[in-house]
Amino acid sequence: MLFSGKALSVQMLDNGIAELNFDLQGESVNKFNRLTVSELSQALDALEAADGVKGVLLTSGKGVFIVGADITEFGGAFSAGPEGIADLMNKNNENFNRLEDLPVPTVVAINGYALGGGFEVCLGCDYRVMGDQAKVGLPEVKLGLIPGWGGTVRLPRVVGVDAAAEWIAAGKEQRPDAALTAHAVDAVVPADKLKEAALKLLERAIAGELDYKARREIKKSPIPLNDTEALMAFFTTKAFVGAQAGKNYPSPVAAVTSIEQGYKLDRDAALKIEQEQFIFCAQTDTAKSLVGLFLNDQAISKVAKGWEKKADKKIERAAVLGAGIMGGGIAYQSAYKGTPIKMKDIDQKGIDLGLKEANKILSKLVARGRLTAEKMGEVLNRIEPTLSYDGFDNVDVVVEAVVENPKVKHAVLKEVEGKVSDDTVIASNTSTISIDHLAEPLARPENFLGMHFFNPVHKMPLVEVIRGEKTSENAIARVVAYANKMGKKAIVVRDCPGFLVNRVLFPYFAGFSMLVRDGADFQEIDKVMERWGWPMGPAYLMDVVGIDTGVHAEEVMAAGFPERMGKSFKAASDVMYEAKRYGQKNGKGFYNYEEDKKGRPKKVATEESYELLKPHVADRRDFEKDEIIERMMVPMATELARCLEEGIVDSPAEADMALIYGIGFPPFRGGIFAWLDNIGLDEFVKMADRHADLGELYKPTERMREMAASGETYYGDK
């Protein structure tokens, strides 16, 4: 053994080959934390000093190679400014250069995932052999960053400028076939043959059959592009990347800039350019927010796994009541992730619609090459359509997804409780109706709770798990475990009108209604909020949700919180509803809808909406964009703060992730609480007070005022 540490080891194999094996103790995956970086330096010391080493093989002792840097270490380094950021990057850049400069050939065996720094160390090797189930990539842009350990330097020298720019700017994981086609790896082999194949390749390099020095020199030299080729390549690439990323995500353009400014330089000089661009990105609010989101996502996943461990049994069989589009979506998601599910409806038309929905989603996956026809058949076979309750005594969980009407739900829930075992958990996919109210006719309310999916089910990651007053811990644990198994992000909240997401969304809609009432153009509001980062503006969002659905939910919210959400005027949504303009579902809402070339609804501006609104709103006038933003966001932020203070949601992280996963709150802002921390609660309170005349929705809580006065933040020192 040449070196043995807690993160990696180096031992001699036959024929002068040294194996450098990554196996971080106490962790399920390998990552480049400070310990791994330090030990890699020591391992390289040992390799450089050892006699008889003819080649080096890099391997992993885990099911994945290396998933990247340890993101939890970014906060402290980034807050230390440029010097702290450089310090975080320098040691491993030195390590990868030393690895690349070893006087013997190097080969890496890539299993599982090699992402970020994990792929950058692979690029430092002479040859790369990849398992047929592995994935590689440089996803740093998803954190608002760029590769910082040579990714923008080595990848373009390995695969070419265009492919490197595309890989890095998109941040996607690459499958073996794509990696091989791009020449990012030299071979793809079955996973059980990976080490054997890598050793054979290394032996060939040692024997002189392969010229590893020549390919190493390519990685260390300028890229041979003439000025005209470079101008064309970088001008078009930066324009395309910039348009795709948008002004709120600077890192993709910074990555292309790093390649552009470094292509004429040798490796070491180009690495300095990369570091400059990395430091620039690391100091942006976008990086701070996206790194925070990554950590929040880990935190909510940990909470969900904690709930899953409390479950007394696994969910092996499920059922959904009410087919249709929502029921079909739930059935698809359950079956696709491996849990057989009964799909019951009282009408064959509903069954047919549910099966059609599942079939449509699966067919798209097959068409895109992400699923075979055989696998599609297996998924559909896990969905059992039925018009009866036969076999319901054998299911572990039933998801009720019938029409959003309390009387109908009461009848259905009471009926199904009599058809299942005493142990079965029943969950209502309600978006607004109180769980405690729905539990009233049930004999076993401890086995009842909410499981609120968002539409479309297969695309929206969030599931709100709503606990009623009598819901047992075990029922919550089982349903969270089921949500986890379905590949969803489960967040447990307490019962109240609208629960968490809708309770916070409708004050946002109320801000919109008041703006329109006061003379704002709804199209201008949409444009301002989309520029602020929302995927769609509030008028467009209402059309997508369904204005009839929205009006019903507004009534529920007004009844639950009359002081804040009761209306003293006819809202724009009420006007559209009375005119039977329900949004995309019937082709007319705030906008009209036509089919585009792909058959998807495309919004088209129409004067009809303005004519309908005219008798109910003030004369049209221009609003400053900042006033629009403030009037839209203050009600949402104050209501979310109330939810946290009332214990509806347990933590700022869960609240922020719920809004990002549930309604598309702009990720680059990190969530509402992260946004409040970023602008400062003192500034937010001033912002809210400017609009105090608009009513209770615009009044910060006393706790918010206390935090503003004392300089507290929601995330503390994070």
Structurally, at CATH architecture level, domain 501-710 sits in Orthogonal Bundle (1.10)
Over residues 144-159, the mean pLDDT reads 97
Q: Which of 224-228, 259-263, 393-397 has the lowest average pLDDT?
A: 224-228
Give the per-residue pLDDT at 244.
85
Give the per-residue pLDDT at 499.
95
Partner residues linked to 141 by β-bridges: none
Are the beta carbons of 649 and 643 closer than 8 angstroms?
yes
Which CATH number is associated with domain 3-283? 3.90.226.10
How would residue 228 be classed by pLDDT, with cut points 50, 70 and 90? confident
Residues 6+ apart with CB under 8 A from 659: 501, 504, 640, 665, 671, 672
Give the per-residue pLDDT at 167.
96
460 has a pLDDT exceeding 90 = yes
How would residue 63 be classed by pLDDT, with cut points 50, 70 and 90? very high
Give the per-residue pLDDT at 717.
63
Residues known to be catalytic:
452
Over residues 522-537, the mean pLDDT reads 96
Are the beta carbons of 464 and 655 closer than 8 angstroms?
no
How would residue 311 be classed by pLDDT, with cut points 50, 70 and 90? very high
- Phi and psi of 62, rounded to 5°? -120, 180
Rounded Cα distance between 514 and 693, Å, is 12
CA angle 264, 251, 182 (to 5 degrees): 60
Give the per-residue pLDDT at 442.
96
Most confident of 81-90, 513-522, 563-572: 513-522
Q: What is the rounded radius of gyration, in angstroms, for the C-alpha atoms of the chain?
A: 28
Domain boundaries, the chain: 3-283, 315-495, 501-710
Are the beta carbons of 49 and 10 closer than 8 angstroms?
no
How buried is residue 255: exposed, middle or buried, by Cβ count under 10 Å (0-12/13-18/19+)?
Answer: buried
Q: Which of 143-147, 224-228, 633-637 has the lowest average pLDDT?
A: 224-228
718 has a pLDDT exceeding 80 = no
Give the per-residue pLDDT at 554.
92
What DSSP string runs through 55-70?
Answer: EEEEEESSSSSB--B-
Are the beta carbons of 676 and 645 closer than 8 angstroms?
no
CA distance readout (Å), 660 to 251, 294, 329? 20, 12, 21
Give the per-residue pLDDT at 473.
97
CA distance readout (Å), 179 to 11, 129, 167? 29, 10, 10
Rounded Cα distance between 362 and 700, Å, is 46
Give the per-residue pLDDT at 226.
86
CATH topology of domain 315-495: Rossmann fold (3.40.50)
Residue percentage of the chain with pLDDT more than 70: 100
pTM, to two decimals: 0.90
Over residues 92-137, the pLDDT tens digits come to 999 999 999 999 999 999 999 999 999 999 999 999 999 999 999 9
Half-sphere exposure of 634 (CA within 13 A, CB side): 29
Give the per-residue pLDDT at 230.
84
6 has a pLDDT exceeding 90 = yes
Helices (H) and strands (E) in the chain, counts: 31, 19
Lookup: tokens for 597: 């070339």
Q: Which residue has the tokens 């009461």?
A: 410
CA distance readout (Å), 156 to 89, 164, 231, 553, 683? 20, 5, 16, 52, 45
What DSSP string runs through 391-457?
Answer: TGGG-SEEEE---S-HHHHHHHHHHHHTTS-TT-EEEE--SSS-HHHHTTT-S-GGGEEEEEE-SST
Helix/strand/coil for 576: helix
Q: What is the mean pLDDT of the chain?
A: 95
Give the per-residue pLDDT at 611.
96
- Phi and psi of 113, rounded to 5°? -120, 135
Are the beta carbons of 656 and 490 closer than 8 angstroms?
no
